[in-house]
Amino acid sequence: MPDPEIRYFNRELSWLEFNQRVLEEAQNVSLPLLERLKFLAITASNLDEFFMVRVGGLQTLYARGSKSKDPAGMTPGQQLKSISERSHQLTRDQYSCYLEQLEPSLAEANIRRLRMDDLTSQQTQFVQQFFNEEIVSMVAPLAVESPDEFPTLIGGTISMCVRLQRSAENDDDEKQRFVVLPFGRISTRFVTLPSEGTYSFVLIEEVAARFIADFFPKETVLECVAFRATRNADMAIREDLAGDLLLQMKQLLVARRESDFARLEISAEASTELTDFLKDCLGVEERDVYRIPGPLDLTHFFQVADAGTGEGNRYEDWPPLASPSIDPLESIFETISKQDVILYHPYESFDPVVRFVEEAATDPDVLAIKQTLYRTSRNSPILSALARAAENGKHVTVIIELKARFDEARNIEGAKALEQAGVHVFYGVKGLKTHAKICIVVRREPQGIQRYLHFGTGNYNEMTARLYSDVSLLTCNEDLGADAISFFNSVTGYSLPQSMHSLSAAPITLRDRLAEMIEAEIQFKNQRQKSGITIKVNSLVDPQMIELLYRASQAGVKVRLNIRGICCLRPGVPGLSDNIEVVSVVDRMLEHARILHFRHGGDDRVFISSADWMGRSLDRRVELLVPVEDDRCRARMMNIVECYFKDNVKGRRLQPDGSYDSPSKRRSSGLKMPAQEWLYRETCRVVELASRSRQAVFEPHRAPEQ
């Protein structure tokens, strides 16, 4: 329980609690087995990024002697101590889940991880041949006589550390020496074994450990253990300095490969002597050492989950459905000209968004395309369409964010390809990350120039659009079109946008707009008119926004928050936040949409946004807040958000002490209401009704005109 004087939860500890909720899905025996394994791998991937970015940044502050406190009143040193304690417990929970629950269940499903002592003679012969032909050829042992000679390891990859006894004839005072075998980015972590009726495998590091003596025929191997080191990736470029941004980004990628280490994971079997050697060489403190009782790097178990089969081991398939609002037989522009279209992915297909850009690329009436790109897929059809549009003579302008963390290399490659095709490419905005999701198509029509728009809460990535819940708005609303052009041109023209009537953009007007909307709800409540605030975002961190929500609660405004991950606000505190409830839904789809609903005296105001409520989103990124003007679309957004607060299966509620309750405690009857399943079933129902309606319409064949 935090100090009652503390108004905020610590951001990092709140994130760790989110990862614990993901782990609870892996521990949930009612879920399909391979889906549970995926959730476990997700927790490992999440934790890797957390150490690379958040912990790495705190370690840098701590090393500089910083005593500054976060809003929860914790210094960097205090945060690192608390993070270490919580992360060690989370790691223990991960391996308890894998070793005690998942691995035995996988074995029952004929998916078996075997140890070297379990192998048959045939399998032993197979892995020895694998060692001789692949590992010996691939891996080079590197002697380490001092920390200065330690090899440059690729962060997050598995290596072996070997402790050897020196030969008797060696005159060196040291009786032992150390050798490192870095595997690097191996393509084969799991060595598939010959077996009948089962998928059996052994870990490559266990194969290497069994036959490691072959590398050192004249020495005694005292021990050979696997380890994995995570590097600090929290580095930024100096955009205030003159220079080529593209070159600086390439230099950052190189620097990231040589940065300090934030965490050491090592086999629990490692001796104190070998562990101390690695700690010294890698420069990590004891609190950042994680002794692992099972396989290192659980992220690789995505491969096992994807390879496994068996009835009942996977979720029922939920293929994205074709939106009944989109007629596949007519031009996408004709459809949008008739009505605004809201798509809720992944329940509805992302294909219309791709089609929007692809049609624009070939439509002879399209004059220009303007688009922002933050993260795209590896072989993006949208990038291909933009290049094709430029080759077809369209005026194409793209803002591609080179600073999108961990996608820098891909975006650099994409930017080059677009430039070669004749696209005007901008590498974001100096000092800010361009995170807004917008595409503008300018088209010449008989009545004049028309602007067609796509606004989104998620990336232009057709692959993640099958896994993330996000909103797309397709419209040709004139006010939004004028604002969109003003916004885009201000970014590419390095200027402040002219006053916008409908859109709000960070870091200029978005924060003020949100504050105005919250203040308005307080006024409506004071005037005894309809009031209420419902917010769906991924993270709520910003102290100013939290204080505004506290003020609304104290005024009697009901505040409902659907926050997937980090929430620094403390709900349910008498006199402070007793009118605020916070629910987090963790399920098969990643909740990613940002939707805002203000009652506004009964004149409901609904927005979608690219921004979370974090300082970086409101002050250090280019983001958009987009009003949903169409009554039908607005009602749909309100219904979607509502279902998350009714979820009594996956909806966990945040308590004043920072814990999350179990949904089963609130399930008074046998009726279960999982939000994501309801959304998919409801989408199926609407699509089916639309299909029946079309079938019921008689359309006569007409005689051809003479």
- Give me the active site residues, please: 435
Closest CA to 584 of 613, 563, 561, 567: 563
Which residues, 6+ apart, have CB-to-CB distance to 599 below 8 Å? 521, 524, 530, 531, 532, 533
Its sign, for the CA torsion 44, 48, 53, 57, is positive
Task: Specify whether the CB–CB gap between 482 and 503 falls below 8 A.
Answer: no
640, 22, 31: which is closest to 347 by C-alpha? 640
Q: Determine contact, residues 206/154, Cβ cutoff 8 Å.
A: no
Return d(Cα 250, Cα 233) in angstroms, integer. 14
> Which conformational region is residue 310 in: left (phi greater than 0), alpha (psi within -120 to 50 degrees), or beta?
left
- Residue 552 near residue 578, CB atoms below 8 Å: no
Residue with tokens 């962060």: 155
Q: Which amino acid is at 565?
A: G
Any residues with CB less than 8 A from the CB of 593 and at least 6 apart, and which? 344, 457, 458, 469, 470, 471, 536, 608
**How far is residue 356's CA from residue 439's CA, in Å, rounded to a whole number?**
9
Comparing CA positions, the residue from 70, 21, 19 lying closest to residue 46 is: 19
> Do the Cβ atoms of 577 and 564 come closer than 8 Å?
no
DSSP string, 680-692: HHHHHHHHHHHHH
Q: Beta-carbon neighbour count of residue 253 at 10 Å?
A: 12
What string of DSSP letters covers 196-263? SSSEEEEEHHHHHHHTGGGG-TTSEEEEEEEEEEEEP------TTS-S-HHHHHHHHHHHHTTPPEEE
